[in-house]
Amino acid sequence: MLLKRILTALVLATVVVTAVLLLPTLYFSLFIAVITLIAAFEWMALTDVNTLTRKILFVSFLIVPMLGVTYWTVLLELLSEALEWPEIKDYSDALEWFVIAPVLFWVLTMVLIRKAGPQLLNIEFKSRLKTFSGWLVLLSAWMFLSKLRAYYGPGMVLYFLILIWAADISAFFAGKKWGKDKLAAEISPGKTVQGMYGALASALICSIGLRVYYGFDAFQGEQPELAVLMTIDLAILSILTVLISIYGDLFFSLIKRKKGVKDSGTLLPGHGGILDRVDSIIAAAPFFYAGIILIGRSVFA
Look at residue 92 in the predicted model and tell me its pLDDT.
60
Residue 280 corresponds to which amino acid? S
The domain spans of the chain are 2-295
pLDDT digits (tens, 9 = 90+) for 83-93: 666 655 555 67
pLDDT-derived band at 266 (thresholds 50, 70, 90) equals: confident
- 117-146 average pLDDT score: 91
d(CA 75, CA 89): 9
- 248-272 average pLDDT score: 87
Average pLDDT, the chain: 86
Look at residue 81 in the predicted model and tell me its pLDDT.
66
pLDDT cut 70: percent of the chain above it = 85
pLDDT digits (tens, 9 = 90+) for 27-70: 999 999 999 999 999 999 999 888 899 999 999 999 999 998 88
pLDDT digits (tens, 9 = 90+) for 173-224: 999 999 889 998 889 988 999 999 999 999 999 999 887 776 654 444 545 5
Residue 83 buriedness (CB in 10 A; 0-12 / 13-18 / 19+): exposed
Look at residue 87 in the predicted model and tell me its pLDDT.
59
d(CA 298, CA 301): 5
Look at residue 44 in the predicted model and tell me its pLDDT.
94
d(CA 30, CA 32): 5
pLDDT digits (tens, 9 = 90+) for 134-182: 999 999 999 999 999 988 889 999 999 999 999 999 999 999 999 889 9
Q: Which residues contact 73 (CB under 8 A, 6 or more apart)?
A: 92
Q: Please give the backbone phi and psi of residue 200, each rounded to the nearest 5 degrees, phi first.
A: -65, -35
d(CA 272, CA 287): 25
Are 301 and 157 spatial neighbours (Cβ–Cβ below 8 Å)?
no
Look at residue 88 in the predicted model and tell me its pLDDT.
58
Question: Over 70: is that where the pLDDT of 300 sits?
Answer: no
d(CA 31, CA 37): 10
Look at residue 227 in the predicted model and tell me its pLDDT.
64
- 235-252 average pLDDT score: 96
Q: Which residues contact 219 (CB under 8 A, 6 or more apart)?
A: 226, 227, 230, 231, 297, 299
- 216-233 average pLDDT score: 60
Positive or negative torsion for Cα 110, 111, 117, 119: negative
Residue 268 corresponds to which amino acid? L
